[in-house]
């Protein structure tokens, strides 16, 4: 009898242990999966998302393009300029000019205000200089970080154009702060006596000039429009919506890239595409090739933002953007359009596509992607997924002289002439045309 009782006690003990283990498992699952509504996958993904911001604060990997779209170099023989030829620009920037810009941005100090007239005087003078045009406004203090250098606290403001010059035995950096329109210059120390001069002297002048230097012909344009003696040779591109025939495996890849758990979502088909719901977040993959995200969450957020400085915001949003478009955009070059603070304190980070150095106007919005940061998280975003393929055909582009005359007739004085590709979503082939901005 004692032996049987002992066996019963042992069996009861085993059953109690099994029950305890089952209840513990249920409890852990409820805490990790049901508690936050997103699941283990999302919690781990959010932790990875947060840790990536810590890395971004110390090292800035340049993923989207921030290379200039326009370069000019002046030496004692004249002026060389290049635009709408991104392959040549990238080669010159990477091999010859980026080191000069990096050195100037790192060493610049004692910023002093100057004028537009002085800026023009440098461009019209006989000194050696190098001119960079980035197309969009970038935080000056962070360009050095993107060039794998140190952030310079002496520099601030948003800039599009930067001018390096050698004058009176000094190296000077000029820029215009696009936020207030004020021009500045500062000295940067020489590390190599002949480095700047030797680089500049490698360039052979090709007759490049700026609109203000030819007032009779181009006086109605914005003063810094670059004029070259030859008409740009612009490729024609085929356009495709790469999400048009989205397979199940590709759909799951997109969900995971955007930190959605494919096993935890609910979805349904609407008239314009697929609607995906997970917790309080809604993701839409539209038939036209657009992905949108909207969050109604307040406590548990999918994309928390730990730092709102421009370099971190760009690093975080560009990863989401490029995870979707990098392998799908063909010959389109993703680039940063800008980081803008709204009146309500929210921040908008925008990206675009470029083709051969010319911006693409995507649909009516113009941008390729836009992210809204509010209350410490990414609240909304839109990504237009487009694929561009060079057809090897060339478009006939009006000479700038005729384009300037047309702009004058349309009362577009003081505007910038810019070659732009219009991707309305209705055409399968696009070519570049002049537009006034």
Calculate the CA dihedral of residues 218, 219, 224, 227 and round it to 10 degrees: 10
CA 260, chain centre distance (Å) = 23
- Positive or negative, the CA dihedral 319, 323, 329, 331 is positive
For 172, half-sphere exposure in the C-beta direction (CA atoms, 13 angstrom radius) is 23
Q: What is the pLDDT of residue 52?
A: 53
Query: Mind listing the domains of the chain with CATH numbers?
Result: 70-207 (no CATH), 238-390 (3.30.310.160)
Give the tens place of pLDDT for each residue, 361-415.
999 999 999 999 998 999 999 999 999 999 999 988 888 888 777 777 666 677 8
pTM, rounded to two decimals: 0.83
CB 262 within 8 A of CB 254: no
Q: Are 421 and 355 in contact (CB under 8 A)?
A: yes
pLDDT of residue 124: 94
The stretches in the chain having pLDDT less than 70 are 1-63, 65, 191-193, 298-299, 409-412
Q: How many whole angstroms separate alpha carbon 375 and alpha carbon 287?
A: 31
A 10 A CB-CB count for 88 gives: 13
pLDDT at 57: 43
Q: What pLDDT is recorded for position 51? A: 55
pLDDT in tens, 142-187: 787 778 777 788 888 889 999 999 877 889 999 999 888 999 999 9
What is the structure's pLDDT at 35?
34
Pairing of strands 347-355, 234-240: unpaired
Distance CA 383, CA 368 (A): 6
The C-alpha atoms of residue 330 and residue 312 are separated, in whole angstroms, by: 27
pLDDT of residue 385: 97
- What whole-number distance in Å separates Cα of residue 57 and Cα of residue 50? 11
**pLDDT for position 144:** 78
**pLDDT of the residue at 40:** 44
């Amino acid at each position: 009898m004692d032996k049987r009782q002992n066996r019963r006690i042992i069996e009861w003990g085993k059953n109690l242990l099994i029950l305890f283990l089952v209840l513990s498992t249920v409890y852990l699952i409820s805490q990790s999966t049901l508690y936050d509504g997103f699941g283990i996958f999302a919690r781990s993904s959010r932790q990875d998302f947060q840790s990536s911001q810590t890395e971004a604060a110390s090292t800035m990997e340049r993923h989207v393009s921030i290379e200039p779209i326009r370069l000019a170099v002046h030496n004692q023989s004249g002026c060389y300029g290049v635009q709408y030829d991104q392959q040549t620009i990238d080669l010159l920037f990477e091999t010859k000019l980026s080191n000069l810009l990096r050195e100037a941005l790192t060493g610049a100090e004692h910023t002093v205000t100057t004028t537009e007239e002085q800026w023009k005087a440098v461009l019209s003078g006989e000194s050696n200089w190098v001119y960079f045009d980035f197309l969009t406004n970038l935080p000056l203090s962070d360009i050095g970080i993107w060039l794998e250098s140190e952030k310079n606290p002496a520099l601030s403001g948003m800039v599009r154009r930067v001018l390096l010059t050698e004058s009176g035995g000094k190296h000077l950096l000029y820029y215009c702060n696009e936020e207030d329109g004020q021009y500045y210059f500062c000295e940067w120390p020489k590390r190599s006596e002949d480095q700047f001069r030797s680089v500049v002297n490698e360039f052979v002048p090709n007759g490049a000039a700026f609109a203000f230097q030819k007032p009779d012909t181009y006086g109605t344009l914005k003063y810094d429009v670059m004029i070259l003696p030859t008409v740009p040779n612009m490729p024609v591109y085929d356009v495709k919506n790469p999400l048009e025939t989205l397979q199940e495996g590709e759909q799951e890849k997109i969900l995971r890239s955007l930190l959605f758990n494919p096993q935890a979502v609910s979805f349904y088909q609407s008239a314009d595409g697929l609607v995906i719901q997970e917790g309080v977040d809604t993701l839409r993959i539209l038939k036209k090739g657009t992905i949108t995200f909207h969050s109604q969450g307040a406590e548990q957020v999918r994309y928390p933002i730990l730092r709102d400085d421009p370099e971190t915001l760009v690093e975080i949003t560009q990863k989401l953007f490029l995870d979707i478009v990098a392998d799908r955009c063909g010959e389109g070059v993703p680039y940063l359009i800008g980081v803008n603070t709204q009146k309500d304190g929210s921040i908008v980070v925008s990206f675009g596509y470029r083709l051969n150095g010319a911006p693409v106007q995507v649909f009516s919005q113009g941008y390729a992607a836009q992210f809204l940061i509010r209350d410490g998280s990414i609240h909304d975003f839109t990504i237009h997924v487009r694929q561009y393929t060079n057809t090897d055909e060339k478009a006939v582009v009006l000479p700038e002289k005729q384009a300037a005359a047309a702009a004058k007739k349309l009362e577009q004085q003081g505007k910038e002439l810019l070659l732009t590709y219009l991707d309305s979503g209705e055409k399968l082939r696009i070519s570049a045309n002049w537009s006034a901005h």
